[in-house]
Chain A
Amino acid sequence: MFRAALLAALALAAAPAHAFIAYVSNEKSNTVSVIDTDSWTVTKTIKVGQRPRGIDFTRDGKFVMVAVGDDDTIQVIDAKTQSVVDSLPSGPDPELFAQDAAGKTLYVANENDNTVTVIDLEKRARLGDIQVGVEPEGMTISPDGKTLINTSETTNMAHFIDTATRQIVANVLVDARPRFAEYKHDSSEVWVSSEIGGTVSIIDPNKHEVIGKVTFEIPGLRKEAIQPVGIGMTKDDKTAFVALGPANRIAVVDVASRKVTKFLLVGQRVWHMAFTPDEKYLLTTNGVSNDVSVIDVAAQKVIKTIQVGELPWGIAIAP
C-alpha cells in the first residue's frame, strides 16, 4: 500500500503539469518532426516542401508556418490534423519570419533578393516588399509591434524598420554574419547574434547604438568554432540562452552583467531553440547530430536527447 502510494506520488511529481507539442523543421529530410513534451518522443513526422527552416505557430495556435526555402514559399500546417493545408506567397528563398502581436501581418526574410516580404496572414496575400541589405536573415518585432528588426548577413547590419511606414529608420553595424535578433521582453534591448564574428551585440533600440557585447570563451576550443546563432530569453529577462553552433554548446548568459555563467553541452551544431510555455524546458535543435536536446531551465542541465530527422534547424512550441 505504502509502496503504491509512493509510486503514485513519484509519478505525479515526474509528470509535467501540461504536455506541449513541439514542431521541429528538418532541413535535409524535408520533414517536420512533432514532439510530445510529456513522453519526449516523436509522435509524427510531417512531409513538407524543400529545405524547411524557419518555423512558428500562428498566434491563435491553430497553424504552424514553415519556410520551405527551395520551394520559395511558406507552408501552413494544421496543428489539429498535423498536415500541410496551405501555402503563403513569400518571396524567393524564405528563411526566417516574424509576425506582429495580433498575428495579422507576417514579415519574411528572403535571402535571395535582399528583401523583406510583408504578408497579410488573414488574406494570405502579399502586401509588399522592403529593400534591405545583402542576405536578410534574422527577424524580430518589438513587443509594441512598432519596430521590425531584420539582420542582413553579408551587409552585417541590423535594420530597424517602422512597421507603419515600412521604411528603414536606422541601420546598426554589428559583427560579421548576423543571424538572429531577439528583443528583451521589456523592450529595452535587442540582442543580435553574429555567427562569424562570434559575438552577440546588444543594441539600444531607441538610440540605435551597440551598447555592449557578449563574448564567449571556451577553454580548449578554438575561437572559430564559436558561432552564435539562436537566442532565447526568459520572460523575466534575467537569463539568456545562446546557441553556439559548431561549439556544440548553449551559453547561459546573465542578462544584467552580460556575462556567460555556464556552458551546456548539447548536440552537434546547435542552431535554434524554443521554451515550453511554462518555461520549464528549453529545446534546442542540433543540426549535425540530428537530435533535439532538452534543457531543464531551472537546473540549467541537459536532461534528454530526442532523435529527429536529418539536419534539424528550427523549432516552435504550441502556445
Chain B
Amino acid sequence: MIRWLAGLIGFGVAATSALAADPVTIGVGYLAIAGTRSTLSLVEQPAENDGVAGARLAIEDNNTTGKFTGQRFTLEERRIREDEDVAQAATALAEKNGFIIADLPADALLKVADALRDRGTLVFNAGATDERLRETDCRANVIHTAPTRAMLADALGQYLVWKKWSRWLLVVGSHDEDRLFADAIRRTAARFGAKIVQERTFEDKGGARRTDSGVTQIQRQIPVFTQQAPAYDVLVAADESEVFGAYLPYRTWDPRPVAGSAGLVPRSWDASQDQWGAIQMQNRFVKLNSRRMTALDMQAWTAVRMIGEATSRTNSGEVKKVTDFIKGPDFSVAAFKGTRLTLRDWNLQLRQPILLVDGRLVVSVSPQEGFLHQVSELDTLGYDRPESKCKLK
C-alpha cells in the first residue's frame, strides 16, 4: 500500500485520468502443495518458493504498469498439505481472488476446476504437464501455461532428428509419470521418423538420493545397465521421478549423448535463457528472489502476466471480461521467447517455443527450422487441433 501511494505521489496528478479514481484491485491466488520433491542433483533441488516466486515478480511487473492504468494486483499464496481438501482450499482462496494460479497434480487440479466452475474463477495450470488435462479431461475454466509432455518430447525430438541422431535407446523409469513421458517420446519418434531401437526399464528399488559413497557404485552400475544395446545415436531417458536420469551422462557403456530427463533437457524456461530481452527479467527475478529462475517460476510468471496483459487491454478488473479477452482471438502475450504466445482455442493450452538446455546454456530452441505448419509452427509441438479429443465445457 505504501509503495502504491509513493508511486502515485511520484507521478503526480498530471498522469492519466484513471489515477483520479481509486485503483481497481485484482486479486490473484496461488495454490500449491507444501513441500518440495527431491532431485538427484543438489543444484537442481527446487526452492521452497519455486513457482510462486515467478508469480510475485509478475505481480510487481503488473503493478508498475498498473500505476498508469489505475490497477493494483495482489497475490495470496496458499500451500496445502497432501491430505487436505484441495477443493475447499481453492474455494476459500477464490473468495478474494478471481484468478488462481495452480501448481497441482492432475487430479487435484480437476477437483479445483470443478469446484470453482460456477463461481467463474479462472484457473491457470502452471505446473501439470499431463496430456489428459488438455484432452479428455480438459476444462473451459482452466488455462495451461505449463507445456505438455508431448510438447516437450516433440521439441526434443525435432532437434535430435535435425541432428540426424535418429536411433534412440529409450530408458524408462518405473513410475507412472515416467511411463507417461515415455509415451510422449514414442509418439514423437513415430511423428518425426526416429527409431527407438530398444527400450529398457530402470526399476526404482527405493533408497536415498543422497549417500556418502554413492558415486563409486553408480560408476559401476550405469555402464552395466546400458551395455549390449543395439546400435544407437542417443540415449533418451524418461525419468520424471528423479531416480536415475542424472546418473546416465558420461557413464553409458557406449559413448553416446543423453537427452530427455537428463543431458539435453526440454524445458519451458531456464536460468541461462538470455535472448530476446530476457536478461532484464532474469535480473529482476534474481533481485527479488535471491536465486535464479526455473521453468515453474516462468510458467507462473506467464500466467500472472497474461492476467495483467488482459486487464490493461480491456481496462477492466472484471473476471468475466478479462477471461473472455484471454480466450478471445486478439489475445497474445510477450514472454521473452522471441515470438508472441497465444492460446490454442480448442483446449486453452499456451503455444510456446521450448528451450533445449544442458544445465549451463540454451543449446537450441524448438520448433526447429523446417518443421512447418499451416497455422503456427508452434503447433508442430504437441497434439494439434485435428488430433484433439478436448471438448471444452
Question: What residues of chain A have their CB less than 8 Å away from a CB belonging to chain B?
Answer: 93, 111-112, 114, 131, 133-135, 152-157, 159, 162, 165, 167-171, 173, 176-177, 195-198, 222-224, 246
Question: What residues of chain B have their CB less than 8 Å away from a CB belonging to chain A?
Answer: 7, 10-12, 14-16, 61, 64-65, 68-69, 277, 280-281, 283-284, 305, 309, 312-313, 332-334, 338-340, 376-378
- B347, chain A: closest CB distance, angstroms: 20
Cross-chain contact A222 with B376 (CB below 8 angstroms): yes
Given A157-B65, A167-B15, A222-B376, decide whether A135 and B280 contact each other with a Cβ distance below 8 A.
yes
- B171, chain A: closest CB distance, angstroms: 35
Interface centre among A154, A156, A177, A246, by most chain B C-beta atoms within 10 angstroms, is A154
The CA-CA distance from A93 to B283 in the complex, in Å, is 11
Cross-chain contact A133 with B68 (CB below 8 angstroms): yes
Cross-chain contact B64 with A176 (CB below 8 angstroms): no
Closest B residue to A176 by CB, please name it.
B334
The CA-CA distance from A131 to B61 in the complex, in Å, is 13
Cross-chain contact A155 with B283 (CB below 8 angstroms): no
- A301, chain B: closest CB distance, angstroms: 28
Mostly, the B contact residues are: helix
What 8 A-B pairs have minimum CB-CB distances, sorted nearest first? A171-B68, A155-B65, A196-B334, A224-B339, A176-B334, A196-B340, A177-B334, A167-B14
Cross-chain contact B10 with A112 (CB below 8 angstroms): no
Cross-chain contact A171 with B280 (CB below 8 angstroms): no
Cross-chain contact A111 with B280 (CB below 8 angstroms): yes
Cross-chain contact A224 with B65 (CB below 8 angstroms): no
The CA-CA distance from A240 to B68 in the complex, in Å, is 30
Closest B residue to A69 by CB, please name it.
B279
Closest A residue to B374 by CB, please name it.
A222
Cross-chain contact A168 with B15 (CB below 8 angstroms): yes
Cross-chain contact B11 with A131 (CB below 8 angstroms): yes
Closest B residue to A198 by CB, please name it.
B340
- A110, chain B: closest CB distance, angstroms: 10
Cross-chain contact B64 with A114 (CB below 8 angstroms): yes
Closest A residue to B339 by CB, please name it.
A224
Cross-chain contact B312 with A156 (CB below 8 angstroms): yes
Given A111-B280, A157-B65, A224-B340, decide whether A169 and B14 contact each other with a Cβ distance below 8 A.
yes
- B307, chain A: closest CB distance, angstroms: 14
Closest B residue to A168 by CB, please name it.
B15
Residues of B within 8 A of A135 (CB): 277, 280-281
Mostly, the A contact residues are: loop
Residues of B within 8 A of A169 (CB): 14-15
Given A93-B280, A134-B61, A156-B312, decide whether A224 and B334 contact each other with a Cβ distance below 8 A.
no
Closest A residue to B372 by CB, please name it.
A222
The CA-CA distance from A156 to B66 in the complex, in Å, is 12
Residues of B within 8 A of A223 (CB): 376
Given A133-B64, A135-B280, A224-B376, decide whether A170 and B16 contact each other with a Cβ distance below 8 A.
yes
Residues of A within 8 A of B378 (CB): 224
Residues of B within 8 A of A134 (CB): 61, 64-65
Residues of A within 8 A of B312 (CB): 155-156, 173
Provide 24 A-B residue pairs closer than 8 Å at the C-beta atoms, listed in order of the A residue: A111-B277, A111-B280, A112-B283, A131-B7, A131-B10, A134-B64, A152-B65, A153-B334, A155-B61, A157-B68, A165-B14, A168-B11, A169-B15, A170-B15, A171-B16, A171-B69, A173-B69, A173-B312, A176-B340, A177-B334, A196-B334, A222-B377, A223-B376, A224-B339
Interface centre among B309, B333, B334, by most chain A C-beta atoms within 10 angstroms, is B334
Cross-chain contact A155 with B10 (CB below 8 angstroms): no
Residues of B within 8 A of A173 (CB): 69, 312-313
Residues of B within 8 A of A195 (CB): 334
Given A176-B333, A198-B340, decide whether A155 and B64 contact each other with a Cβ distance below 8 A.
yes
Given A155-B68, A196-B332, decide whether A171 and B376 contact each other with a Cβ distance below 8 A.
no
Q: Contacts A111-B277, A133-B65, A155-B312 known; list 5 others, CB within 8 Å.
A: A112-B284, A155-B61, A155-B68, A156-B312, A198-B340
Given A154-B334, A196-B334, A196-B339, decide whether A167 and B11 contact each other with a Cβ distance below 8 A.
yes
Closest A residue to B337 by CB, please name it.
A196
Closest B residue to A194 by CB, please name it.
B334
Cross-chain contact B11 with A176 (CB below 8 angstroms): no
Residues of B within 8 A of A168 (CB): 11, 14-15, 68
The CA-CA distance from A153 to B335 in the complex, in Å, is 11
Contact of A154 among B12, B61, B340, B377 (CB under 8 A): B61
Residues of A within 8 A of B340 (CB): 176, 196-198, 224
The CA-CA distance from A311 to B6 in the complex, in Å, is 40
Given A165-B14, A170-B16, decide whether A197 and B332 contact each other with a Cβ distance below 8 A.
yes
Residues of A within 8 A of B332 (CB): 176, 196-197
The CA-CA distance from A111 to B68 in the complex, in Å, is 18
Residues of B within 8 A of A167 (CB): 11-12, 14-15
- B288, chain A: closest CB distance, angstroms: 12
